[in-house]
């Protein structure tokens, strides 16, 4: 059974496995419109009623992150609302989720990965949270990575913004498994098949219990978003790094 959402999000259902695929340019950047399509796809019965859900980017990569243009005023609040809803929907999906990662997995793309239950990456995948280089930070990462990865690992990812490879991602606990590029589809399919062989209601209850034992991320994310929107974006250099990126120049920080 196959159905296509409006635009660039596709939902495919084969037996108990649902696959949600997005495509948006060469870097699969999420703008607000694509996030809204993605949310709608995640609420479809083909997805919510599945045994397992695979999330994947079409083309050359998983996702290069969120649209830099949508980080600018007056669009940033709407983008934050859509992205928070996206992450919360993935986090709370009844079936377990598998991130199928290849190519670039950066910024908001990596935060989306971290909202999934399992992750399989190709050996050539690259990861990172480069927001700090643009003079901003990743709210979901700031709110959750210390709990998901440990405080030292979270600090290194968020303060340095340095890209890293799939082997390092596996060592840090960001992905479960790294496989050769030409084996990624088969590896994810085998993982999904294994999950689908188990009782659906047991899987759903297990996911609920695992989520319940984690510290609630959404109250912490509200704090991070407030700091970003009300404090960081109110400062003189609020958009300097973002505009410098779009203009392909080095940012000039007046506040140091």
Q: Could you write out the DSSP letters of every residue in 8-67? A: SEEEEEETTEEEEEE--TTTT-B-HHHHHHHHHHHTSHHHHTSSEEEEEE-TT-SB--B-
**pLDDT, tens digit (0-9, with 9 covering 90-100), for 90-145:** 999 999 999 999 999 999 999 999 999 999 999 999 999 999 999 999 999 999 99
Q: Is 163 a residue whose pLDDT tops 90?
A: yes
12: closest CA among 34, 40, 44, 60? 44
> Among all chains, which residue has been given the structure tokens 């986090």?
91
> Among all chains, which residue has been given the structure tokens 């700031």?
142
**What are 223's two structure tokens?**
């704090």
Q: Return the active site residues.
A: 111, 131
Q: Is 23 a residue whose pLDDT tops 60?
A: yes
First to last CA, the chain: 55
The whole-model pTM stands at 0.93
- Greater pLDDT, 215 or 224: 224
Q: How confident is the model at residue 235 (pLDDT cuts 50, 70, 90)?
A: confident
Tell me the average pLDDT across 224-232: 91
**pLDDT at residue 256 in the model:** 60
The CATH superfamily of 2-202 is: 2-enoyl-CoA Hydratase; Chain A, domain 1 (3.90.226.10)
Q: CB within 8 A of 28, min separation 6: which ones? A: 22, 57, 58, 59, 61, 62, 63, 64, 109
Q: How confident is the model at residue 216 (pLDDT cuts 50, 70, 90)?
A: confident
Share of the chain above pLDDT 70, in %: 96
Domain boundaries, the chain: 2-202
């Amino acid at each position: 059974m196959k159905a296509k959402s409006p635009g660039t999000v596709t939902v495919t259902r084969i037996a108990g496995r649902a696959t949600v695929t997005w495509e948006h340019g060469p870097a699969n950047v999420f703008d607000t419109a694509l996030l809204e399509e993605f949310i709608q796809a995640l609420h479809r019965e083909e997805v919510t009623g599945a045994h397992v859900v695979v999330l994947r980017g079409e083309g050359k990569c998983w996702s290069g992150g969120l649209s830099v243009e949508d980080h600018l005023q007056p669009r940033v609040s709407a983008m934050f609302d859509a992205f928070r809803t996206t992450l919360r929907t993935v986090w709370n999906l009844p079936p377990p989720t598998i991130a199928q990662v290849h190519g670039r997995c950066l910024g908001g793309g990596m935060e989306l990965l971290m909202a999934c239950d399992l992750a399989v990456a190709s050996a050539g995948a690259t990861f990172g949270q480069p927001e700090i280089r643009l003079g901003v930070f990743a709210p979901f990462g700031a709110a959750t990575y210390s709990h998901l990865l440990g405080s030292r690992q979270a600090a290194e990812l968020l303060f340095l913004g340095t890209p890293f490879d799939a082997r390092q991602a596996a060592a840090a606990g960001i992905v479960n498994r790294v496989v050769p590029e030409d084996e990624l589809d088969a590896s994810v399919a085998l993982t999904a098949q294994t999950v689908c062989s188990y009782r659906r209601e047991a899987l759903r209850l297990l996911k609920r219990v695992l989520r319940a034992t984690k510290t609630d991320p959404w109250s912490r994310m509200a704090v991070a978003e407030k700091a970003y929107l009300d404090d960081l974006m109110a400062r003189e250099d609020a958009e300097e790094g973002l505009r410098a990126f779009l203009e392909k120049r080095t940012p000039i920080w007046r506040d140091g």
